[in-house]
Amino acid sequence: MCTVSPENSLMSVEEVALELGTTPLNILLYIKRGQLQGQEIEGKWFVASESLSALKATSDSVGSAPCKSSCGHGGGCGGGCH
pLDDT tens digits for 32-48? 999 999 999 999 999 99
Write the DSSP string, the chain.
Answer: -----TTSPEEEHHHHHHHHTS-HHHHHHHHHTTSS-EEEETTEEEEEHHHHHHHHHH-TTTT--SS-TTSSS-SSS-SS--
This prediction has a pTM of 0.65
Write down the pLDDT at residue 71: 58
Domain ranges across the chain: 10-56
pLDDT tens digits for 12-23? 999 999 999 999
Q: Is the pLDDT of residue 80 over 70?
A: no
- Those residues with Cβ within 8 angstroms of residue 49's Cβ, 6 or more apart along the chain or in another chain: 8, 9, 10, 11
